[in-house]
Amino acid sequence: MTSTTDRPLPADSADPGRGFTARVSLGRVFTPVPSEFLLITSTALLLTVFGLVMVLSATMATTSEEGPFQTALKQTMFAAIGIPLMLVFSRLPMLFWKRISWIALIGALGLQLLVFTPLGYEFDGNRNWIAIAGVQAQPSEFLKLAFALWLGYVLYRKHTLLGLWRHVFIPVVPVSAIVIGSVVAGHDLGTAMILVLILLGALFFSGVKLRVFVIPALAAAGIVAFLAISSPNRMARITSFLNPNCIDEYLTTCYQPLHGIWGLASGGVFGLGLGNSREKYAWLPAAAHDYIFSIVGEELGLIGCVVVLALFTLFAIGAFHVIRKTHDPFIRIAAGGITVWIVGQALINIGVVLRVFPVLGVPLPFMSQGGTSLVSVLMACGVLLAFARTLPSSHPVVAEPRR
């Protein structure tokens, strides 16, 4: 007679259909990110690298005591600062961005007011620069990001009351007038127009009624028209833009626009080759700044221009997907302002090179020479990436028991 002893079976033995399973928690670092996060990151990095190559090419022909590579090295240094900041910003939670909005705006506005102190100086008729310990900066570039975050927070707090015009007016209109006025006082109409675009974009994505949205739009158009008419320099740019025979003013207001369009046209389909631009040899004054797109067309041809436009299009698609998919009004409004800023500024810059718009003096985001502009745009991308992290992953990972 054989006796058996009843023993409790292991969990895996009790259920023969279940195999051994190991659960390992890898933390939030390895959490799958949405496709919008990857799209914005990849396009921002590609445009930045593309811009560094083109700045190097556009400045190689300029004579400098520091050497032909100094300008490109400075731009690379600012990229080395901006890219880590973008990645750090992408990890910050929404509560941080909401709490810091007022502080960021006050700090950026205070920095902007330094241009009217002995630290500020004038460049090309615009008093919008400061120099501290030999480091030059354009504070209005940081003001763009702070302004977008502040609009997102204020309109988010009032999103249930935006049907009433007084709740839209206070405090948005007075504070916006101070912010934009601080830039206009330095005679920088191009940056002021970008700030107006951020304001209109934030109002649009906040969902205000059309009649409430139209009044600020008309007021902004009237202010821009007044500022353009009241300045002889701006009026000269506009009249030369409207002049069908611009060659008559070749030595004055039409010199740079003509050389910009000539350089763009001379590249043809395939371009003259990287580094083979002729316009950068002192013919095009702002070859590495506002007219970097002209050098792209001259050296890389139509193909290079299409690549740049395609990258900005993909960036816009990723940003607008964040706006469309989010359920947080703060994210929708702030991301809308940032997207309108970056994409709108790119379209304006390219339109100036193509002579669709008069010369406005705004850089091409990610690509134009200018450390402050590059760092501020990369920081704004970091905020967009933080917003994108709040979206659900397109392909969630579901753990299933092995059979």
Per-residue pLDDT tens for 309-334? 999 999 999 999 999 999 999 999 99
The pLDDT-based confidence of 22 (bands split at 50, 70, 90) is: very low
DSSP reduced 3-state for 364: coil
What does the pLDDT read at residue 18? 47
Query: Using only C-alpha atoms, what is the Rg of the chain?
Result: 26
Instruction: Give the mean pLDDT of 281-308.
Output: 93
Q: How confident is the model at residue 42 (pLDDT cuts 50, 70, 90)?
A: very high
Alpha carbon distance 166, 162 (integer Å)? 8
Of residues 87, 32, 37, 30, the one with CA closest to residue 388: 37
3-class secondary-structure state, position 48: helix
Q: How far is CA 128 from the centre of its chain?
A: 19
β partners of residue 121: 129
Nearest of 44, 36, 160, 85 to residue 379 by alpha carbon:
85
Q: Is the pTM of this model over 0.85?
A: yes
**Average pLDDT of the residues of the chain:** 85
According to DSSP, the β-strands at 126-132 and 120-123 are: antiparallel
Mean of pLDDT values over 23-46: 78
pLDDT in tens, 331-383: 999 999 999 999 999 999 999 999 888 888 899 999 999 999 999 999 999 99
| pLDDT score recorded for residue 401 | 53
User: 124: which residues sit within 8 A by CB, 6+ positions away?
Assistant: 361
11 pLDDT above the threshold of 60: no
pLDDT on residue 19: 45
DSSP character at residue 130: E
What is the number of other CB atoms lying within 10 angstroms of the CB of residue 194?
25
Least confident of 63-67, 87-91, 185-189: 63-67
Ranges 23-37, 284-298, 379-393: which has the least confidence: 23-37
d(CA 307, CA 295): 14
Distance CA 394, CA 35 (A): 7
Ramachandran region, residue 125 (left: φ > 0; alpha: ψ -120 to 50; beta: rest): left
For residue range 113-142, list pLDDT tens digits in order. Answer: 999 999 998 877 788 899 887 788 999 999
Secondary structure letter of residue 34 according to DSSP: P
CB 368, CB 24: distance < 8 Å: no
The residue whose two tokens read 């007219």 is 291
User: Is the pLDDT reported for residue 230 higher than 80?
Assistant: no
What is the spatial distance between Cα 130 and Cα 235, in angstroms, rounded to a whole number?
27
3-state secondary structure of 129: strand
CA proximity to 290, closest of 228, 344, 369, 366: 369
* CB atoms closer than 10 angstroms to residue 33: 16
